[in-house]
Amino acid sequence: MRTIRYQQIADELRARLSAVGAGEVLPSEADLSTEFGVSRVTIRRALEILRDEGLVDARQGFGWYVAGEPLRQHLDELGTIEGQLERRGIKPERRVIEFDFRAAPKRVAEVLGVDQVLRVKRLNLADGQPFAVVTVWCPAELGQHLSRHDVEQRPFYEMLGVALRGATQTIGADSVDGADAKLLGVPASSPVLRCERITTDTQGRPVLMSEHVFPARRTEFVVELPTAEPSVLPTGLRLVE
């Protein structure tokens, strides 16, 4: 039987996917069109076949990428996403990109109440694939005993030498800049989840501030909500007379 061209392309792309990690962005439709010498309509038909099989997916701002189970982080306790990944059988890894003591940026100085900080920027990976760019600031006094190797191997929570009470985490939608996009292997300006976490000691004083940038296509945050009084209205809303 005669094989339709887009089916042939789907077969070839399917064979390639076995060597590509989950969440990895595929070449653009324009690049694939040039490679195979066909129209973008034909390429899209081939990719739609693979999407129907659950092998690839597409999202605005990313284009097409290899489908896979999203990385989920539960926010009901203070801990690291690496610990949660390990419990799911996923191998986490940290690569420290920058480690230095410096003057605190204005926002960090306001939160931590100090002029000098230890700043650490790292890339987090899951089974060898990047899933987060993390920047952490702590008061220079608390971080003076730490080394680059220390922060690559262990969470800050375990090494500060102070008892912690908890943290406040704020999550918002954003687009990624060129430098972080390159680290994450995603197109510049593609959608990300940007999280700011402020960790406090038992006296309520901020001792850590961190920013986490997650590709939106790979990340889910899960929060357990306690039972509340029955209501027909979403929490925080009221009827306007």
The two structure tokens encoding residue 198: 């402020």
The two structure tokens encoding residue 155: 């969470």
Instruction: Note the pLDDT of residue 78.
Output: 64
Beta strands per DSSP E along 85-218: 92-103, 116-126, 129-139, 164-175, 191-201, 206-215
Domain boundary among 48, 66, 84: 66
Instruction: Note the pLDDT of residue 208.
Output: 95
162 and 115 co-located in one domain:
yes
pTM of the model: 0.71
58 and 154 co-located in one domain:
no
Q: Residue 50 sits in which domain range?
A: 5-66
Other Cβ atoms within 10 Å of 141 Cβ, number: 11
Domain boundary among 66, 84, 109: 66
> How far is residue 179 from each of residues 70, 110, 122, 211, 233, measured CA to CA in Å?
23, 26, 13, 15, 43
Number of domains making up the chain = 2
91 and 58 co-located in one domain:
no
Per-residue pLDDT of the chain (241 residues; tens, 9 = 90+): 346 888 899 999 988 887 776 777 788 889 999 999 999 999 999 999 988 888 888 877 668 888 776 666 766 666 677 777 887 788 889 999 999 999 999 999 999 999 999 999 999 998 888 889 999 999 999 999 999 999 998 888 889 889 999 889 899 888 888 899 999 988 888 888 899 999 999 999 999 999 999 987 777 777 776 765 655 555 555 545 5
114 and 34 co-located in one domain:
no
